[in-house]
Amino acid sequence: MTTEHKNRIVLPGSERSARSGSRVVGAPDPNEQIRISVLVRARKTMQNLASAKELTATSPHQRKYMSREQFAADYGANPDDIGKIEAFAHQHNLTVVEASSPRRTVVLSGTIAALSAAFSVYLANYEHPDGAFRGRTGPIYIPADLAGIVQGVFGFDNRPQARPHFRKHKAPKQPKQTAQPTSYTPLQVAQLYNFPSGVDGTGECIGILEFGGGYNANDLNTYFQQLGISTPSVTAMSVDGVTNQPAPGQNSPDTEVMLDIEVAGAVAPGASIVVYFSNFTEQGWVDAITTAVHDSVHKPSVLSISWGFAEGQQIWSTQAITAVNEAFQAAAAMGVTVCCAAGDDGSRDQVDDGLAHCDFPASSAFVLACGGTSLQSSGTSITSETVWNDGVNGGATGGGISDTIDLPTWQANAHVPPSVNPGGRIGRGVPDVAGDADPETGFQILADGQSGTVGGTSAVAPLWAGLVARINQKLGTAAGFLNPLLYALASNANALHDITTGSNDITGQIGGYSAGPGWDPCTGLGSPNGTALATALAGASAAGTP
């Protein structure tokens, strides 16, 4: 062991590998000030929640959710542990910016030189086609007396860690022969999916996570006025100093932000909407999710996440996956439903290594993963719904078998097939549900003053979030972690529209996955029949726990 690492141990799960296609171009300024987030262990092991009533009760009405205050008291960080992190920081001339027991997070600031020495890491500047970043390889080291206390350290490496899952409609060179291009307002889609009437999400709060761009209040007012409904309450929350910053331009992330707000706000206009803006880095992810889940002021009952990245150590470290999964598990314990887009690049998930990949965080066992369909209608009736797949020059719904998340108990009877990758692993199957995502049958939105039609699974996550808000209002309680309930309802033919036609292989080489009766790795259990689903959930039987 070198002198640099003397009396230090490797922080488990902190190892990072070089990102394929990147190259070192120099060293960062040692005097540059940065912030890192240190994740501290919980007072009680999170595994205690695996059989808790909030996850296993037979219906939402029988579940006993924890308040955010109760959860913080039972599962937040111990003040003594936080004190040890603060003492460590002072020993290394670092500043404690924030310490949150509910989020189990201590934010430290200092120079790159001081922070690198404190955690025994070497940083370099990299170039990559996706953009330049500051990165590290190998593990992070911590003092032996902090073993078990420190669960993760985020912020040294700021490689891009998120991409939005939306697709703008473009006139194809060769139009599909099976469907005529059309577009819908969110209200029309909600009608086609038979969302429950007499409720609009009043009393609920929908949290939306964004990792770039922003929204324009004037555009929102114009959009909702055109739909003939009042503009919902929209609040911007800054995470890690990131604010609502609209940035118009080709493929601007503003399109993602506006799509999320407009879809969720249109189908649940009575709900308040809180938008959490953060950096598209590993640190940004962990801080945004923990901030939203533990927001004791706005108390979101539903979260919508339309960003993600393929599983794999080049992007997601083990410590980040663990931190994000634990935050989602906390959400389940507190009755918060988390809806995540499954991706827009078919079974390869924009990774050109000849293998199939799932998108994270959609592959988390504690979220409702949302896949995509192509939706055709006549009047107020669905005439056809198939797997969304525009081919190699377009996009397709994400979905497949997770390489990192094990098969949850509640999916045990879903007949999840082996992965098409070598070894045939049977892990967490993605997605769980689906909805309209084909840009040719997409959503009419307004972004940066321009009207357009947008699809992608980015539209499906806020659509389901809005549906859950309406269901919560109708039930008079939070539906919470839906997955065990939905898989138990799989035999209820009325609650979900089973999608049986199509594939998410866009290259013709990976193999991908095909739709079929029952659950499949393209559209999950299917698209919603909202009213029937709400009725069924009122008396649902749980399928089990993760």
DSSP string across 161-185: --EE--EE----SS--SS---EEE-
Q: Is the pLDDT of residue 293 over 90?
A: yes
Indicate whether 44 pLDDT > 70: yes
| Structure confidence at residue 316 as a pLDDT band (50, 70, 90) | confident
Quick one: pLDDT at residue 248?
A: 85
Band (pLDDT 50/70/90 cuts) for residue 351 is confident
With b for 16 or more beta-carbon neighbours within 10 A and e for fewer, the 35-53 pattern comes to: bbbbbbbbbeebeebeebe
Q: Per residue in 413-469, pLDDT tens?
A: 999 999 999 999 999 999 999 999 999 999 999 999 999 999 999 999 999 999 999
Q: Which tens digit of pLDDT belongs to each residue from 395-413?
A: 899 999 999 899 999 999 9
Catalytic, 458? Answer yes
Lowest mean pLDDT among 43-47, 265-269, 276-280: 43-47
Report in angstroms the alpha-carbon separations of 51 from 68, 83, 264, 329, 479.
19, 31, 31, 12, 17
Lowest-confidence pick of 170-179, 337-346, 375-384: 170-179
Per-residue burial over 435-466, b if 16 or more Cβ lie within 10 Å, else e, is bbbbbbbbbbbbbbeeebbbbbbbbbbbbbbb
Taking the mean position of all CA atoms in its chain, how far away is CA 85? 29
Q: Where are the alpha helices (DSSP H) in 198-355?
A: 217-227, 254-267, 282-293, 318-333
Please tell me what DSSP assigns to residue 105: E
pLDDT score at 512? 81
Share of the chain above pLDDT 70, in %: 90
Lowest mean pLDDT among 224-238, 259-273, 340-354: 340-354
Distance, in Å, from the CA atom of 528 to the CA atom of 479, rounded to the nearest integer, reads 15
Whole-number mean pLDDT of the chain? 89
Report d(CA 521, CA 332) in Å as an integer. Answer: 23
Tell me the pLDDT tens digit for each residue of 162-181: 555 555 555 544 444 444 55
Q: Radius of gyration of the chain from Cα atoms?
A: 22
pLDDT cut 90: percent of the chain above it: 74
Is 51 considered catalytic here?
no
Write down the catalytic residue from 256, 262, 311, 385. Answer: 256
Q: Does the pLDDT value for residue 19 go beyond 90?
A: no
d(CA 486, CA 460) in angstroms, rounded, equals 17
Q: What residue type is 410 in one-letter code?
A: W
Report the relative pairing of strands 163-164 and 441-447 from DSSP bridges.
unpaired
Band (pLDDT 50/70/90 cuts) for residue 353 is: confident
260 catalytic per annotation: yes
Element (H, E) at 446: strand 441-447
* Average confidence (pLDDT) over 102-123: 96
Q: Is the dihedral of CA 319, 324, 328, 331 positive or negative?
A: positive
Mean pLDDT over 299-319 rounds to 87
Please report the pLDDT score of residue 173 as a whole number: 40
Residue 2 confidence (pLDDT)? 41
Instruction: Encode pLDDT of 187-231 as tens digits.
Output: 999 999 999 999 999 999 999 999 989 999 999 999 999 999 999
Q: What is the pLDDT of residue 184?
A: 95
Tokens of 519: 């659950």
pLDDT at position 250 is 72
| Of 301, 364, 402, 458, catalytic | 458
Nearest one of 470, 490, 478 to 536, comparing CA atoms: 490
Q: Edge to edge, what strands does the sheet with 150-154 contain?
A: 95-100, 105-111, 33-40, 150-154
Residue from 260, 262, 349, 505 carrying the catalytic annotation: 260
pTM: 0.93
Confidence of residue 56 (pLDDT cuts 50, 70, 90): low
Give the pLDDT score at 458: 94
What's the pLDDT band for 546 if we cut at 50, 70, 90? low
Is residue 94 very low, low, confident or very high in pLDDT (cuts 50, 70, 90)? Answer: very high
At 477, is the pLDDT very low, low, confident or very high (cuts 50, 70, 90)? Answer: very high
135 pLDDT higher than 50: yes
Tokens standing for 422?
A: 């070598």
